[in-house]
Amino acid sequence: MTENKDKITIMIVEDHPLFGQGLRRVLEGEEDLEIVAEVSNGEAAVERAAELQPDVILMDVNLPGMNGLQATRKIRASTDRTAIIILTAYHDEEQLFHALRAGAAAYYPKDVLPSELVRAIREVAKGNYVIGDHVMSAPQVANWLLKEFEELAQYGGDPDELFMPLSPREMEILRYITKGASNKEIARALGISRQTVKNHMSSILRKLAVNDRTQAAVLALRRGWVRFEDTYD
């Protein structure tokens, strides 16, 4: 991705100024890294990524409007030039799989050591993936994911449901659910039937492995898929 270039170009996608400043300080201390843009939401990330084609994007999950996983999926659908590192305040194994399926090349909690993050940036800029302490090629990551699928199936899980991200429409409905909207209100707002909302709701509960809409809302907020502030729009 960065052949014959002096510096690795980086875009920061982060809406909290304090954390963004911390990232900037870390990156500015490295001679081979160059920040080319900083944006604070998913929509701007998609737009600027298409315009600038940075080598690496540091992408927060918890963004206003379009979250980091959605933005990652859109960016990776349009280009294979840019590698994306997902940063999140909430870290778990399932979220890692969602990030990889969305197209991320690495995934870290926000308390990652600066030296570890810089190392990951250099690796993903070369086309590698970083999973924990391991640097992998694309085929190695594919094999690793396959093993995880097989292990899950061995213990009675459903890999297809666990690793299937919510569709854009389901994410839209989930955002309304976190605001406390009823099926009738969601149907009116989106211009669809109440039965269609019910069908999407059933799919959301199944994919998230929760029992009701309250649990779905709590999970979405906890993982940063929907921001708490968005519930008051």
Q: Please check whether residue 158 lies inside any domain of the structure.
A: no
* Structural domain boundaries, residue 222: 166-232
- Last residue of some domain: 145, 177, 198? 145
Task: Report whether 11 contacts 38 (CB < 8 A).
Answer: yes
Q: Please check whether residue 85 lies inside any domain of the structure.
A: yes
Task: Report whether 53 contacts 76 (CB < 8 A).
Answer: no
Q: Please check whether residue 2 lies inside any domain of the structure.
A: no
Least-confidence region, from 175-179, 184-188, 229-233: 229-233
Q: Which range, 82-86, 128-132, 136-140, 220-224, has the best average confidence (pLDDT)?
A: 82-86
Burial class (CB in 10 A: 0-12, 13-18, 19+), 55: buried
pLDDT above 60 (res 210)? yes
Q: What is the pLDDT of residue 30?
A: 94
27 and 79 fall within a common domain: yes
30 and 79 fall within a common domain: yes
* Interatomic CA distance for residues 72 and 86, integer angstroms: 9
Domain containing residue 66: CATH number? 3.40.50.2300
- Last residue of some domain: 145, 176, 191? 145
Joined together, the tokens standing for residue 99 give: 């990030």
Q: How many domains does the chain have?
A: 2
Interval 140-181: pLDDT, tens = 887 777 776 666 555 555 544 444 567 788 888 988 888 888
pTM of the model: 0.70
* Interatomic CA distance for residues 84 and 48, integer angstroms: 14
